[in-house]
Amino acid sequence: MPHSRPTAERWLVAEPDDDIRDELQRLLDGPADELSARFNGRLQFGTAGLRGAVGAGPRRMNRLVVRQAAAGLVDHLLAAVPDAASRGVIIGYDARRKSDVFARDTARVCAARGVRAMLFPHVVPTPVLAWNITGTGAAAGVMVTASHNPPADNGYKVYLGTGAQIVPPADEQIAACIDAVDPTTVELAPDDHPLIEVLGHELVDAYLDSVVGVRFRPDLAGTPVAYTAMHGVGGSPLLTAFERAGLAAPVVVEAQQQPDGTFPTVGFPNPEEPGAMDLVIGLAAASGARLAIANDPDADRLGVAIPTTWPASSPARWRRLGGDEIGWLLADHVLRHTSGDDRLVVTTLVSSSLLGRMAERHGIHAAETFTGFKWIAHAVLARPELRFVFGYEQALGYLVTDRPLDKDGITAAVLLAEIAAVAESEGRTMQDLLDAITAEYGRYVIAERSVQLDPAVGLASVVRLRERPPTEIGGRAVTEIGWFEEATLLRLRCGDELRLQVRPSGTEPKVKLYGEGMSVDPAPYLDALASLLVPHA
């Protein structure tokens, strides 16, 4: 604590933004413990890059923190990638608070260190940035976004030249370089430095042109779809993607169509959150749509709702699909419209095991990897002899083509709209398609829970549960125990009918639990498992 004030005073001198400087001055004028809390450590750079609330000090997202991260990233690239300076870094940003200045500062740090910077001139979806990393030959990509986090947050996502997000050991190496940088003295090039290239619209156009290639049934013009951008940056690109792919234009939630980092109509801009899709479901019911879809704020995720009866003129007759259900629909469509035993599908440990069953039925390869889409990308890169056709994680992340090597809520939306059109052409509903999958493979029942715990306590609770695993849960005998060290994930099987999993969240103060049952509801067993965590807290 004694060192907090001198450090904060140096930050105050260096801070370029009036609002953050005013906040920091208030901290300096206030209780010492509040100042200490902001300056005791810093936001940790990891496989998700940086993410946190915008505010003053090293434990918040601000321009000094971003400059430090950019400098550390560039120093790592110059040491690890021989031609990094000429290949450069491509930089995109969304509409959250300060995203534009975070992106501009990143470009200026790159140029000051002799590295080419390619900066999008306006907000773009994360998939547009990710798709263009390999196309431009960049040594790395940076996307300034907090994705589906609460409105107060922003973030800093890093990709390497493969187009995939960073994984160990690259994250640790970059973090070490960041640690060596003083955030108050990072050199910045002028805005008009010759190494800073402000990109034109052609890279966005190239991505949108590529969307056409995800369709298998271009003969179908589509079916009525309702859409919300959820105040994010996906609105205009998605409409253009539908047009170029030959699909009818969706009817949109006008109040949420334009980018707005304050998110005035939704408290938590995540399609997974209860109530977040209410407006688009209401619009779908009122307009006669057969499908309601939502992107998260940076458009790399896709939420979906379908009618439970048809016609469905009341929102009460609609339901949100779980992330696995969306994955099943996309996988079934992709596998029925592709061929070859060299095909590869990939999912994560906590997603449904049904994708593996589908792959087995079609005689193709399937891989299961750690939680987080970055691991799906690296599973694809690890099998270059195979032809990747589909990957997903249950947290609404889907990849229906081989580029970018990251989840893409725009191409997934196009393909899902095609699926709805196929169903309508056959006189079926989306629920009919899910019922057909159940008839073919059996009834897979998915449930999730979470227990709010401090990160350190949550980790300790999961580790203790691994060391002293239960012999039965909810009256069912535990027949198999698996531990995945890299994911800090404990897997418990109760016969062939029930799989339960538990892991501490990597981004939130909670422990997450995942259940899958074969014609068995896993929810009560997850509740029983959650109760075993609480005494440890």
Tell me the C-alpha distance between 88 and 96, whole Å. Answer: 25
Q: What is the mean pLDDT of the chain?
A: 95
> What's the whole-model pTM score?
0.95
| pLDDT over 70, % of the chain | 99
Give the model confidence (pLDDT) of 414-424 as tens digits: 999 999 999 99
Active-site annotation, residues: 147
Sign, CA dihedral 410-120-506-39, equals negative
**For residue 536, what pLDDT band results from cuts at 50, 70 and 90?**
very low
Instruction: Please say if the pLDDT value at position 360 is more than 50.
Output: yes
Alpha helix segments (H runs only) across 382-454: 409-425, 430-441
420 and 430 Cβ atoms separated by less than 8 Å: yes
Other CB atoms within 10 Å distance of the CB of residue 359: 22
In which order are the strands placed within the sheet that holds 343-348? 365-369, 343-348, 387-393, 397-399
Q: What is the mean pLDDT of residues 436-444?
A: 97
Question: Which tokens belong to 314?
Answer: 């009341």
Instruction: Please say if the pLDDT value at position 1 is more than 50.
Output: no
Sign, CA dihedral 351-352-356-359, equals negative
Instruction: Please say if the pLDDT value at position 508 is more than 80.
Output: no
In this prediction, residue 46 carries a pLDDT of: 80
Q: What is the mean pLDDT of residues 492-503?
A: 97
Question: Which tokens belong to 272?
Answer: 């997974």
Phi-psi region of 56 (alpha: psi -120 to 50; beta: other; left: phi over 0): beta
Q: Domains of the chain, with CATH numbers?
A: 42-200 (3.40.120.10), 214-442 (3.40.120.10), 444-536 (3.30.310.50)
464 and 536 Cβ atoms separated by less than 8 Å: yes
Instruction: Please say if the pLDDT value at position 537 is more than 50.
Output: no
Q: Which of 195, 149, 172, 122 is nearest to 52 (CA)?
A: 149
Q: What is the mean pLDDT of residues 364-376?
A: 95
Give the model confidence (pLDDT) of 293-333 as tens digits: 999 999 999 999 999 999 999 999 999 999 999 999 999 99
128 and 92 Cβ atoms separated by less than 8 Å: yes
**For residue 2, what pLDDT band results from cuts at 50, 70 and 90?**
very low
Give the model confidence (pLDDT) of 520-535 as tens digits: 999 999 999 999 987 6
Give the model confidence (pLDDT) of 57-95 as tens digits: 999 999 999 999 999 999 999 999 999 999 999 999 999
